Structure 1
């Protein structure tokens, strides 16, 4: 299970393959991207891009997609998966943890799918991310709990926790969307108002 949080070596590559090919993972990422209402002028950052599924979906619409992931194994996988968009300069992916982001500002959208649980001090990280968004910029945090016995109640609890973290970081106009998988996925969307 640790390999899904921080993929390393051969076992990490295998975990990345599972993440990229599991139907529920692909559906979850596509669904989250569909909630973003992306425009061709948007500059988007994904924190914890894993094998790059959402990066590829966002690159079809957004003008520029950036991504950070603390796993070099996932960086290689995501660059391969999105090689054409990387070569075209529409996708830039970085090997960096969330607490040491590259110098990005004026972003339109920030998204993170099932990675916040691996962040050090998530509340502080969310405040830092808010500082990277333009006025009116949007954030989306998605969680599909993967713990043993996860249920709709587990997802509801995770959604409430994400919502509370976003509110404490200063995001407004929070709303929750749910995708009925087993277990369900909660996506909390918010807006940055300066």
Structure 2
């Protein structure tokens, strides 16, 4: 089913898209919206651009080389943002999450995911990671924090919302 003609154009942001595997999938499905991606690596931007070339040409996606600590100006607010395996790359996660909250439209959503990159990764480690992400999001002003569970291989997935659109 197609969205109604009056449906607003949705905007999404991925921070640290790496080689762009997930980003390319989202860009291909963004018929009624656009996806922006930011990564600090020239190599990752190049790989992601190759994967998403059709969507980028159709203006459904835009990639930028930038650090999460120094995000570019995007012009408009986003409906959703996502980051995967990001904690080791963000120098100040609480401040950056507050900044990301400020880039969301009222009731915008954020998704954070990760998997421990350790040979001894077990469910107990991901439970601890879930709690850490929950606390980070709560301290940054997000609400409705929901934790993913039972991921195989062990991993963490946390979803949250900006409760009222109030800016930090």
TM-score by length of 2: 0.87
- Shifted more, 145-154 versus 66-75: the winner is 145-154
The aligned residue for residue 125 of structure 2 is 154
Instruction: Return the match for 1:173 from 144, 155, 159.
Output: 144
Higher helix share: 1
Contact 2:28 2:52 in 1 (8 A): no
Residue 103 of structure 1 aligns to a residue whose secondary structure is coil
- Among 36, 54, 59, the residue aligned to 1:66: 36
Deviations 1:99-121 (A, max 9, x none): 11111241000000112321111
Taking structure 1 as the reference length, the TM-score comes to 0.76
Return the match for 1:136 from 107, 114, 117. 107
C-alpha distance after superposition, 1:7-66 (max 9, x if no partner):
xxxxxxxxxxxxxxxxxxxxxxxxxxxxxxxx9832000000001111122123331000
Deviation at 1:138, TM superposition (A): 0.2
Paired residues, what number?
Answer: 155
Q: Distance in 1 between matches of 2:57 and 2:9?
A: 19
Q: 1:164 aligns with which of 124, 135, 139?
A: 135
SS in 1 for 2:82: strand
- List structure 1 segments (4+ residues) > 2 angstroms apart after TM superposition: none
Aligned counterparts of 2:128 and 2:25: Cα–Cα separation in 1: 28
| Residue in structure 1 matched with residue 10 of structure 2 by the alignment | 42
Matches of 1:44 and 1:50, distance apart in 2: 16
SS of the residue aligned with 2:22? helix
User: How has the CA–CA distance of structure 1 residues 153 and 40 changed in structure 2, closer, same or farther, with 3 Å as cutoff?
Assistant: farther
1:191: which partner in 2?
161
- Partner Cα separation in structure 1 for residue 150 and residue 110 of structure 2: 17
Unaligned residue ranges in structure 2 (runs of 5+): 1-6
- Structure 1 unaligned segments of length 5 or more: list them: 1-38
SS at match of 1:178: coil
